[in-house]
Chains A and B, each alone.
Chain A
Amino acid sequence: MFSYVFMKILERRPRSYDRRMDRATGGRIRRVKEQVAALAPTHARVLEIGCGTGELASMLVARGCEVEGFDRSARMVAAARERIAAEGLAEGFTAYEMGVDGMDGLAETAYDAVVSTLVLSEVTDDERRYTLRHARRVVRPGGVIILADEVRPRGRGRRLIHRLARAPLAVATYLVSTATTRPVEDLTGDLTRAGFAVDSEQPSHGGSFAIVVAHRPKRVDTP
C-alpha cells in the first residue's frame, strides 16, 4: 500500500481525488472503504473522522446509516457535500470543516460507530491519542470503532523492506506536495490505551496496512 503516500498529492484536487486514488492504488482504496462499510453496523449513527470526498460516507448512508463527517479541508468537505447530494443521499449526511482537535466539542456517547480511513497516519502522535480518546468518549458503550490506515509492519526485516520501498515514493510525493504521511507505529496498542477492546485486526500488504475493529466496553472492570 505504498501508493497511499500519493494521497497528499491528490488531495489538492478534491473533485478528481477518488478517481485518481483508485488509479494510484489499483482500486484498493475503494475496496478498503467497502470493507470498512461492511464492518460497520447498519442503520447506525456514525461519525467519520476525516470524511474526505465522502466516498465512505456515501456507502454508509446507502446502508441506512446516518453519517456525520468532518474534515480539516474545506475543499474536501465541499466535495463530499456535492457528491452525497448528487447521489440523492443528502438527508443522511452532515459534513463540516473541522480538525481532530475539534472533537472535544462533539456530544458524549452520541454515535453507534466511529470510522476513519487514512487519517491517523497524517496527524501527530498527540493528535492521534487525542482523537482516539475522544472517539471513545463520543461512541456509546458497546459501540464500535473501525480504522483503516497505514501501519508500521511488525518485525525488523519487514520494517526495513517497507521503509526502503516507501522512501522513494514518499520523497517523490514530498517534492510535489510538500507533505507526506507517517505509518502508525502501534494502532491496536493506541486503541487499547484509549480504552477500546480490540476485536479484530486485518493486516495486509506485508503488514503495512491494517483494518482494525474495536469496541467501547459496556462497563469497565476494575481490578
Chain B
Amino acid sequence: MSPVKAPKSPVKALWGLLFRVFPCPTAAGLRQVGAPDRQSPVLVTCNFYTTVARLTRRLSRRHVDAWILVVDSKGVNVWCSAGGDELSTDAVVSAVKTSGLAERVDHRTLVLPPLGAPGIDAAQVTERTGWKTRWGPVRLGDLPAYLARGQRRTEPMKRATYRWPERLDTALGSLFPFYLAGALGFALLGRGLLLTYLVVAALALPLFYLPLPWLPGRRGLVKVLPLVALGAGTLALSFTGPGAPLASFRAALVIGSVTLVVYAAELGGLASTMPSDLDPFLAKLGIGAIGNTAFAGTVRTKLLNGDLTLTHDPAICTRCRACVEVCPQTVWTIAEEGRIHLASRERCTACRACLTNCPTGAIAAVGREADSS
C-alpha cells in the first residue's frame, strides 16, 4: 500500500472554501507529510478536502515529518462530522485497521483531533485497536508546536477559540450558499434590488462576525439583536425625512437586517464556542432531521432546549480527566484532590464530547426533574 498523495485540486479548494455546508471529500487513507519514518507521529483527521490540504500545507511549511491518517468522515469537517456521527469511533477504528498503519510505524500512539471528541470515544479506540490515543491541539496551526513539545498540550491548545480570521473563514464557508440563494431570489423576483442585496449582504457578514465576541449574549440570535435594532431604528428615523430619495436606503436596511438574522441563526454550526440556535428551533418546528442529521430527540437538542442537563456523579467518577481533556470550553475543571468539577454550564455548547468520553457514565445528561430530585 502506498500512501495517498497530498491533495491539490483548485476546484475542491474553492468548493471547500465557499461551500463548507456541503461535503468536499478527499480520499481516506494513510498520507505522509515530509519523510516520516517508523517513529514519526500519526495524526488523525477527517477526509474534508480543505482540512487535509491545510494540515498538509501547515506541516510541510514547518518541515514536520508525520503520518496523517485520513478517516472517512463522508467529506465533512471534524467538528461537523463528529457532531453528525460520521467521524466516529467505528470510523477511526476501521481506518486504523484497514490502512496498514501498523506496518508503517513501530509506536502505537494516535493523535486525535479534539473537536472530534463528540464522535470519538478515545478509550474505545484503544480497546478495539490496541493503539493509545492522545488529543492534539484544537487549532490545526498549533500542531507543529504541539509536536515540538513532545505531544504535550498547553492549556490554550485545549480550548476552542473563535478569532477573527477563523470567524471570517468559517462564516464565509458556511454562509456563502445562503448569500448565493438570496442573490438568486432577487435575480428572479426583484432584479431592481439585486445590486443593493449583493453589496449589503456582503457587508453584513464582516459587520456581524468581526465584532462578534464583543456583542452581548451567547446565542447568535441574541448577539445580532443590537445590530438589527440599529437597522430598525435607522429605518424608523428615515421616515421622518424626505421619502423618495431614501427608498433604496430603506430597502438596504431591511435587506441587511434580514440577512443578519439569517447569518446569525446557526452559530453552533460555525463555531465550537457557541451553541446552535437552528437545531432546537427546527426541532420545535417539528423538523426532526435533515438527511441523516437529526435534531428532534437528540441529546444535543435536548441539552440546548434545557430538557436535559449535565450532571456529574462523584461516586463513580474515576478522576481520569477525560472530560477535562475533551471539553473545548472548560466546562469541566479539576478541583482540590483531583476531583472533577462542573465549572460552568453556561459555557457548555452541548457538543457531547464529555458524554462520549466518560468511561464510567459519571457524566450524564438527565432530565431536569431527575436532576433537581
- A130, B291: Cβ atoms under 8 Å? no
Within 8 A of A (CB), among B98-126: 98-100
On chain B, the residues within 8 Å of A178 by CB distance are 23, 74, 84, 290-293
- A99, B292: Cβ atoms under 8 Å? no
On chain B, the residues within 8 Å of A72 by CB distance are 90
Q: Which of A12, A125, A175, A179 has the most CB of B within 10 A?
A: A125
On chain B, the residues within 8 Å of A129 by CB distance are 1, 98
Q: Does B94 contact A (CB under 8 A)?
A: yes
If A12-B292, A179-B292 touch, does A130 touch B97 (CB 8 Å cutoff)? yes
- A126, B99: Cβ atoms under 8 Å? yes
On chain B, the residues within 8 Å of A22 by CB distance are none
Chain A nearest CB, measured from B129 CB (Å): 9
On chain A, the residues within 8 Å of B27 by CB distance are 124-125
If A124-B28, A124-B29, A125-B29 touch, does A104 touch B97 (CB 8 Å cutoff)? yes
- A126, B28: Cβ atoms under 8 Å? yes
If A176-B291, A179-B74 touch, does A126 touch B95 (CB 8 Å cutoff)? yes
Mostly, the A contact residues are helix
Within 8 A of A (CB), among B151-174: none
- A177, B292: Cβ atoms under 8 Å? yes
Q: Does A100 contact B (CB under 8 A)?
A: yes
Give Cα A124 to B69, complex, Å: 13
Chain A nearest CB, measured from B90 CB (Å): 6
If A12-B292, A177-B291, A178-B84 touch, does A127 touch B74 (CB 8 Å cutoff)? no
CB < 8 Å A-B pair total: 54
Give Cα A176 to B291, complex, Å: 4
Give Cα A3 to B5, complex, Å: 32
Chain A nearest CB, measured from B329 CB (Å): 26
Q: Does A101 contact B (CB under 8 A)?
A: yes
Give Cα A130 to B100, complex, Å: 9
On chain A, the residues within 8 Å of B74 by CB distance are 178-179
**Chain B: interface residue count, which band?**
20 to 34
Give Cα A125 to B30, complex, Å: 11
Q: Does B138 contact A (CB under 8 A)?
A: no
Chain B nearest CB, measured from A158 CB (Å): 23
Chain A nearest CB, measured from B49 CB (Å): 15
Please name the residue on chain A nearest to B97 by beta carbon: A101
Total number of A residues with any Cβ neighbor in B under 8 Å: 18
Q: Does B277 contact A (CB under 8 A)?
A: no
The 8 A CB mask of A95-120 against B (1 = contact, 0 = none) is 00001110010000000000000000
Please name the residue on chain A nearest to B291 by beta carbon: A178
Give Cα A193 to B372, complex, Å: 62
- A130, B98: Cβ atoms under 8 Å? yes
Q: Which of A12, A101, A126, A175 has the most CB of B within 10 A?
A: A126
On chain A, the residues within 8 Å of B95 by CB distance are 124, 126
Give Cα A171 to B90, complex, Å: 25
On chain A, the residues within 8 Å of B90 by CB distance are 72, 99, 101
Give Cα A72 to B90, complex, Å: 9
- B293, A124: Cβ atoms under 8 Å? no
Please name the residue on chain A nearest to B76 by beta carbon: A178
On chain A, the residues within 8 Å of B84 by CB distance are 178
Give Cα A124 to B95, complex, Å: 9
Within 8 A of B (CB), among A118-157: 124-127, 129-130
Within 8 A of A (CB), among B80-99: 84, 90, 93-95, 97-99
- A99, B94: Cβ atoms under 8 Å? yes
Q: Which of A12, A72, A130 has the most CB of B within 10 A?
A: A130
On chain A, the residues within 8 Å of B23 by CB distance are 174, 178
Chain B nearest CB, measured from A86 CB (Å): 28
If A72-B90, A101-B93, A178-B84 touch, does A127 touch B293 (CB 8 Å cutoff)? no
Partner of A100, one of B29, B94, B291: B94
On chain B, the residues within 8 Å of A99 by CB distance are 90, 93-94
- A127, B292: Cβ atoms under 8 Å? no
A-B contact pairs, 14 of them (CB 8 A): A12-B292, A101-B94, A104-B97, A124-B95, A125-B28, A125-B29, A126-B28, A126-B29, A126-B30, A126-B98, A129-B1, A130-B97, A175-B291, A178-B291
Give B contacts to A, CB under 8 Å. Answer: 1, 23, 27-30, 72, 74, 84, 90, 93-95, 97-100, 290-293
Besides the contacts A124-B27, A126-B1, A178-B74, what 12 more A-B pairs have beta carbons closer than 8 Å?
A72-B90, A99-B90, A99-B93, A101-B90, A101-B94, A124-B29, A124-B72, A124-B98, A125-B28, A127-B94, A178-B291, A178-B292
